[in-house]
Amino acid sequence: MRLLLSALLRKPLRTLLTVVSIALALFLYCFLESVLYAFNVGVSMSSASRLVVQHKESLAFQIPISYRSSIRQCEGVSAAVPMVWFGGLYKPKDATGEVREEFFAQFAVEMQEYLSIVPEVVVRDREQLRALLADQAGCVVGDKTAERLNIRVGDRIVLRSQIWNQPGNKPWAFNVRAIYTSDSPSFDRTMMLFHYKYFDEGREFGKGMIGIFLMSIQNPDRFQEIATAIDRRFENSPFETKTVTEKAFNMQFVQMMGNLQLLLRSIGSAIVLTMLLVAANTMMMSARDKTREMGILKSIGFTDAYVFRLLIGESLVVAALGYALGAGLAYGLFNLAEVNPKPDFFPIFTMPREALLGALGIAALTGVLSGIVPALAGMRLKATEALRSV
Amino acid sequence: MPEPIIQLRDCTKVYHKGGERILPLDRLSLDIEEGDFVALMGPSGSGKTTLLNLIGGLDSPDEGGLIVCGQNLAELSPRGLARWRSRHVAYVFQSFNLLPVLTAFQNVELPLTLMPLSKAERRRHVETALRIVGLGARMHHRPDELSGGQEQRVAIARALACDPRLLLADEPTGDLDAQSAQEVMDLLTALNREHGKTIIVVTHDPKVAQCARRQLHLEKGVLARDTASEPARRGGA
């Protein structure tokens, strides 16, 4: 152990730089995996017992709210909640009095029914919940957005939608009646939800039309049968529907960014690989510098196997330190300190466990690959040759 | 009569360099008694270091037999040879070859980590070895905090720590000034006389060779002369 330590401290600056370069590469890997996870998290938070009814052609088209009663009549459907994407911008003033634009997801929903079929949305304070249901202009905001934008219960917030206008181009005003949180770590805690009725009465156009119905079904195993029955009901109507699982619905958004993800992964992988190759090369050079020391150890009586273990051990320790630093920093930042580099774009930004394991695998591979060649050479090296080297 | 500690019989070593066949040792036969102090001399390329490496088990002859400390080295596996070396042989090199990040104490302790000794026993051995070489007060210094002569004395202490029967020194004074060289040779002489260590020194320096009892002159891989040094013989008598 002392020899291993001494080998690492022989050129401390080189060891430090090697550790830092591995740490940087692994941090980058963890960050990249966290970004990709953030893209996909909507899929993982989907419930198997929820379906989504949307326009057959595209989400850009609306469907009438009058379909609701027809959908509810389908066997196996327990609830159908209308939802409309609001697309509003929040423009609070900061401490210096400057106005800034903030974005977060907002939906107009049938509140009571929505809360009953999406139990992931948790309003802990019963008073807040009562006030939310009682106030038609009330809204509930996710705790992460509330914290980020310093929104409190009782605040009146004003949004300007990029889609929906009120007569006279009046901005939309809402009363913050509740803050929600979630017990599910993968559920979006950045949304704002408000009453569909308030929205529908206020909007200038599109009245009676909604974006999607979020449905809950009694038996998730029957989703195909139910989806087919609903879509058949609206066949040949002006607004044909497509019914999919919540997971498949969320997957559409991920697939829209398919090439972006591939691009990100390719560029990231190339950078990580390059940095690791540089680190591995440095570690191999460091091992080659120790040829004479290997000769000394062998002349003293240390075995070939010991020399092998020493050299591979050094590489593994350097890689392990790089892992601890890089992955540890990423874990600390994204999972403990909950740093989100783009909170308005990524509702959830955490490093998945798979990234930690992946980084561990990369670190182990770097350690073994960079150590195996000099370790084998060191093991086979004859002491007489080693002692002749300068 | 006791058996010699080193017995070489028709030992030949061959190297091939650029298609050329080099014979650093050519059917060399030699006996060295236990407790002897031998200087190996000769021009560069005469086979001195090759012979030292064969005796220390760092290299093996291509032909011939070699028995050191009662062990036929050809019978040992590489692992067995390493274990044998750690118990019976110690090296002192021209360039000291201390590990730079370890203190004098830790450098001397290094070969002892291969022995089944407790920490306290290791400490005792290290302190004894450093006291013998006169560096008891500098045991926590790193090599770069020591003079060349002191570094070589630490290297000798490292060689002594395991109490080997055989001490092999390859030009141990080559990198030292005259005074340090004399101190090192005095130390080796004392180890030979007072502790009964068998010492073989490779050297170009006639002054160093004079400290030895026996001088072996190699030329082109064969023993050209085998002489006894009078002062050493008188001193030993």
Tens digit of each residue's pLDDT (9 = 90 or more) over A143-171: 999 998 999 999 999 999 989 989 888 89
| pLDDT category of residue A42 using cuts at 50, 70 and 90 | low
Kindly state whether B82 is in contact with chain A, defined as any CB-CB distance less than 8 angstroms.
yes
Lowest mean pLDDT among A25-34, A39-48, A97-106, B89-98: A39-48
- Which residue from A10, A299, A305 is facing B100, i.e. has the nearest CB? A10
What is chain B's mean pLDDT, rounded?
87
| pLDDT category of residue B237 using cuts at 50, 70 and 90 | very low
Indicate if the pLDDT at residue B38 is higher than 70.
yes
Residue B2: predicted pLDDT: 66
**Mean pLDDT, rounded, for A267-283:** 80
**Mean pLDDT, rounded, for A168-188:** 91
Closest-CA residue to B139 (of B130, B147, B150): B130
Indicate if the pLDDT at residue B235 is higher than 50.
no
pLDDT digits (tens, 9 = 90+) for B111-127: 888 888 899 999 999 99
Indicate if the pLDDT at residue B156 is higher than 80.
yes
- Sheet containing strand B214-219, edge to edge, reads B89-92, B166-170, B198-202, B37-41, B214-219, B222-228
Angle at B119 between CA B114 and CA B122, to 5 degrees: 60
Indicate if the pLDDT at residue A265 is higher than 50.
yes
Between residues B54 and A300, which one has the greater pLDDT? Answer: B54
- Which residue from B90, B101, B114 is facing A302, i.e. has the nearest CB? B114
Contact list, B58 vs chain A (CB under 8 Å): 298-299, 382-384, 387
- Which residue from A10, A295, A300 is facing B111, i.e. has the nearest CB? A300
Residue B173: predicted pLDDT: 87
Kindly state whether A300 is in contact with chain B, defined as any CB-CB distance less than 8 angstroms.
yes
Within 8 A by CB and 6+ apart from A226, the residues are A51, A74, A75, A76, A77, A217, A243
Through-space distance between the first and last CA atoms of chain A, rounded to whole angstroms: 26
Q: Tell me the one-letter amino acid at B129.
A: A
Indicate if the pLDDT at residue A390 is higher than 60.
no
What is chain A's mean pLDDT, rounded?
88
Between residues B18 and A180, which one has the greater pLDDT? Answer: A180
Within 8 A by CB and 6+ apart from B128, the residues are none
- Sheet containing strand A77-85, edge to edge, reads A102-103, A88-90, A156-161, A172-180, A138-142, A192-195, A106-109, A77-85, A212-217, A50-55, A241-245
Q: Pairing state of beta strands A102-103 and A88-90?
A: antiparallel
Between residues B10 and A93, which one has the greater pLDDT? Answer: B10
What is the rounded distance in angstroms from the CA atom of residue B220 to the CA atom of residue B210?
22
Residue pairs spanning A and B at CB distance below 8 A: 61
Q: Where are the domains of chain B?
A: 6-236
Q: Is B58 helix (H, G, I), strand (E, B) or coil?
A: coil
Kindly state whether A299 is in contact with chain B, defined as any CB-CB distance less than 8 angstroms.
yes
Copy the structure tokens of residue A282.
Answer: 């440095």
Indicate if the pLDDT at residue A375 is higher than 80.
yes
Residue A212: predicted pLDDT: 94
Copy the structure tokens of residue B146.
Answer: 């020591």
pLDDT digits (tens, 9 = 90+) for B190-222: 889 988 899 999 998 888 898 899 999 999 889
Beta strands (DSSP E) in chain A are 50-55, 63-64, 77-85, 88-90, 102-103, 106-109, 138-142, 156-161, 172-180, 192-195, 209-210, 212-217, 241-245
Indicate if the pLDDT at residue A351 is higher than 70.
yes
Beta strands (DSSP E) in chain B are 6-17, 20-32, 37-41, 63-68, 71-72, 89-92, 166-170, 198-202, 214-219, 222-228
The alpha carbon of residue A182 is apart from the nearest alpha carbon of chain B, in Å, by 55
Q: Is A80 helix (H, G, I), strand (E, B) or coil?
A: strand
**Which CATH superfamily is B6-236 part of?**
P-loop containing nucleotide triphosphate hydrolases (3.40.50.300)
- Which residue from B53, B78, B99 is facing A6, i.e. has the nearest CB? B99
Q: Pairing state of beta strands B198-202 and B37-41?
A: parallel
Cβ contact (<8 Å) for A301 and B87? yes
Within 8 A by CB and 6+ apart from B227, the residues are B214, B215, B217
Residue A161 CB: number of other CB atoms within 10 A? 17
Closest-CA residue to A320 (of A26, A9, A11): A26
pLDDT digits (tens, 9 = 90+) for A88-146: 999 887 778 788 888 899 999 999 999 999 999 999 999 999 999 999 999 999 999 99
**Mean pLDDT, rounded, for A330-337:** 93
ipTM for the assembly: 0.76
Residue A356 CB: number of other CB atoms within 10 A? 19
**Mean pLDDT, rounded, for A293-317:** 87
pLDDT digits (tens, 9 = 90+) for B168-187: 999 888 888 888 888 889 88
**Mean pLDDT, rounded, for A204-229:** 91
Copy the structure tokens of residue A181.
Answer: 């949180």
Indicate if the pLDDT at residue A260 is higher than 80.
no
Residue A231: predicted pLDDT: 93
What is the rounded distance in angstroms from the CA atom of residue B40 to the CA atom of residue B69?
19
**Mean pLDDT, rounded, for A194-207:** 93
What is the rounded distance in angstroms from the CA atom of residue B105 to the CA atom of residue B158?
9
Kindly state whether B80 is in contact with chain A, defined as any CB-CB distance less than 8 angstroms.
no
